[in-house]
């Protein structure tokens, strides 16, 4: 079935934004922010998503406390986006963290700045924010269509969706109109905000990559970001310590040193401290097959102090008892030392002291993309104009994790998703205001 929601008014020029209909595909933060901008301007907005409900990954991110953005100085904030800072800076300057907080306050949700400058809703939850937001969007006339899986475009450029509640066709899908479970929809513009490919069970499965590649859009390969890494643990460590937190340590790679916590997993190591190094470690593994991260097991102790305590006579005590009584090392930290040092090396006090302060941990692979918190790669900024419209597909705008950027956790991911969603929404409005001839229609 085909439904035409495109403006059928004046063929030479748009006479008013209220005459326009825009599809937003993807009901995460970027897509919903685009819908907010468009609906505020009076445009009819239809939001489509393959999942049963909106904002599933957004809600999952809020389970550990909804870190919405960051309150550090803006230049430092921009620096967190690494090689994509230049591309993202105009978007983030147009919708900086302070503006994002004010927008949240406008939904009736209070925020506060934590001790690490991370910004949270007062109740630390994502669900109240999302509920208030959806309520306002619906009041502004936004229509939501769940269980609608986007299938790309037909030969006339109409959007194709798999209709909910009907078993899908086997691949390859038949042409539009030949299957009862496929419908086509025509709009004046489209915003794609389909996410990356991490946590596919929440909706971001990366299926859009092939749909855009079929249209001649070159996509940078999707890769895990903010991810865990695989380590070839011994059977003993894996069976005895998998799931154990590793607290009060520092990690060092190159000239960068950070202190925090991580977790030993059956496959390797993960957690916030590790995620903060994930981009450089992933790139090193891709270049050379492995990467070595150094762990300081006693980050608040000087090397001299560690050497002195390790060398202290231990009498009849075992080495394990000696390390626990003199340095407080036990459990997983002692086990890690035994992972990298032989029994003979453990009794070399100089080597043992150096290893306590710089334990070499060889990472052999990233964990799968589906397990990562976020995604690197995607649509290159070079394929988009300054309004985030695809240069090869006029009227098609992109936002969120679909774009080729990455950032650490700490509110930076959501900030850029919100900012790019707003930029895409404003880009659509600018495009809709142009005469039809200027749009190439």
Over residues 28-55, mean pLDDT: 97
Q: Is the pLDDT of residue 131 over 90?
A: yes
Distance separating alpha carbons of residues 400 and 84, to the nearest angstrom: 13
pLDDT of the residue at 437: 56
Distance separating alpha carbons of residues 50 and 376, to the nearest angstrom: 22
pLDDT of the residue at 18: 78
Q: Is the pLDDT of residue 336 over 60?
A: yes
Distance separating alpha carbons of residues 55 and 127, to the nearest angstrom: 9
pLDDT of the residue at 222: 98
State the pLDDT confidence band at 173, using cuts at 50, 70 and 90.
very low
Q: Is the pLDDT of residue 288 over 80?
A: yes
Is 22:190 a contact under the CB 8 Å cutoff? yes
What digits encode the pLDDT tens for the residues 377-430?
A: 999 999 999 999 999 999 999 999 999 999 999 999 999 999 999 999 999 999
Closest CA relative to residue 274, chosen from 310, 235, 236, 225: 225
Helix axes 127-139, 29-40, angle to 10 degrees: 30
pLDDT of the residue at 1: 52
Q: Is the pLDDT of residue 4 over 90?
A: no
Average pLDDT across the chain, whole number: 92
Distance separating alpha carbons of residues 114 and 127, to the nearest angstrom: 20
What digits encode the pLDDT tens for the residues 134-145?
A: 999 999 999 999
Closest CA relative to residue 28, chosen from 167, 130, 135, 105: 130
Distance separating alpha carbons of residues 10 and 18, to the nearest angstrom: 13
For 221-254, letters b (16+ CB in 10 Å) and e give ebbbbbbbbbbebeeebbeebeeeebeebbbbbe
Sheet architecture: strand order including 159-162:
2-4, 182-186, 159-162, 149-153
Q: Which residue has the higher pLDDT, 298 or 1?
A: 298
Q: Is the pLDDT of residue 166 over 70?
A: no
Percent pLDDT > 90 in the chain is 87
Q: Is the pLDDT of residue 436 over 70?
A: no
CA angle (394, 398, 400) in 5-degree steps:
170
State the pLDDT confidence band at 8, using cuts at 50, 70 and 90.
very low
Helix axes 303-311, 319-327, angle to 10 degrees: 140
State the pLDDT confidence band at 170, using cuts at 50, 70 and 90.
very low
pLDDT of the residue at 14: 40
Going along the chain from its start, the domains and CATH numbers come out as: 2-224+375-439 (3.50.50.60), 229-366 (no CATH)
The pTM of the full predicted model, rounded to 2 decimals, is 0.89
State the pLDDT confidence band at 279, using cuts at 50, 70 and 90.
very high
Q: What residues contact 258, with CB distance under 8 A and at least 6 apart? A: 250, 251, 273, 276, 277
Distance separating alpha carbons of residues 296 and 195, to the nearest angstrom: 36
CA angle (131, 62, 86) in 5-degree steps:
100
pLDDT of the residue at 387: 98
What digits encode the pLDDT tens for the residues 223-263?
A: 999 999 999 999 999 999 999 999 999 999 999 999 999 99
101-110 CB contacts, 8 Å cutoff, 24+ apart: 101/68, 101/69, 104/68, 104/129, 107/132, 107/133, 107/136, 108/132
Distance separating alpha carbons of residues 228 and 80, to the nearest angstrom: 19
């Amino acid at each position: 079935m085909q439904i035409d929601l495109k403006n059928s008014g004046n063929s030479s020029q748009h006479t008013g934004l209220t005459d326009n209909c825009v599809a937003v595909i993807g009901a995460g933060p970027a897509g919903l922010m685009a819908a907010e901008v468009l609906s505020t301007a009076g445009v009819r907005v239809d939001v489509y998503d393959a999942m049963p409900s909106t904002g599933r990954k957004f809600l999952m991110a809020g389970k550990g406390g909804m870190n919405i953005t960051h309150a550090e100085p803006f230049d430092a904030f921009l620096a967190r986006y690494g090689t994509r800072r230049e591309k993202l800076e105009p978007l983030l300057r147009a919708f900086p963290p302070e503006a994002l907080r004010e927008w949240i306050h406008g939904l009736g949700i209070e925020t506060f700045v934590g001790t690490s400058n991370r910004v949270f809703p007062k109740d630390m939850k994502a669900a109240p924010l999302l509920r208030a937001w959806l309520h306002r969007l619906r009041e502004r006339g936004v229509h939501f269509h769940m269980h609608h899986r986007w299938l790309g475009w037909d030969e006339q450029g109409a959007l194709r969706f798999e209709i909910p509640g009907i078993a899908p066709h086997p691949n390859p899908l038949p042409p539009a109109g030949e299957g009862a479970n496929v419908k086509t929809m025509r709009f004046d513009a489209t915003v794609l905000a389909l996410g990356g490919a991490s946590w596919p069970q929440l909706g971001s499965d990366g299926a859009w990559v092939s749909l855009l590649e079929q249209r001649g859009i070159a996509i940078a390969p999707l890769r895990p970001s903010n991810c865990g890494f695989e380590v070839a643990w011994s059977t003993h460590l894996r069976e005895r310590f998998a799931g154990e937190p590793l607290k009060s340590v520092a990690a060092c790679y190159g000239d960068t040193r950070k202190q925090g916590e991580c977790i030993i997993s059956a496959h390797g190591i993960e957690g916030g401290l590790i995620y903060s190094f994930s981009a450089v470690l992933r790139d090193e593994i891709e270049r050379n097959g492995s990467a070595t991260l150094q762990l300081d097991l006693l980050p608040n102790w000087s090397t001299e102090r560690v050497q002195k305590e390790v060398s202290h006579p231990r009498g009849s005590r075992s080495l394990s008892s000696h390390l626990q009584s003199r340095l407080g090392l036990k459990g997983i930290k002692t086990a890690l030392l035994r992972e990298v040092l032989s029994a003979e090396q453990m009794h070399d006090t100089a080597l043992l002291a150096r290893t306590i302060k710089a334990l070499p941990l060889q990472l052999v692979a990233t964990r799968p993309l589906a397990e990562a918190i976020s995604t690197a790669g995607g649509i290159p900024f070079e394929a988009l104009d300054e309004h985030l419209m695809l240069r090869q597909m006029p009227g098609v705008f992109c936002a969120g994790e679909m774009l080729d950027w990455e950032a650490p956790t700490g509110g930076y991911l959501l900030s850029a998703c919100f900012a790019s969603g707003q930029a895409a929404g404003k880009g659509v409005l600018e495009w809709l205001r142009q005469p039809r001839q200027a749009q190439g229609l």
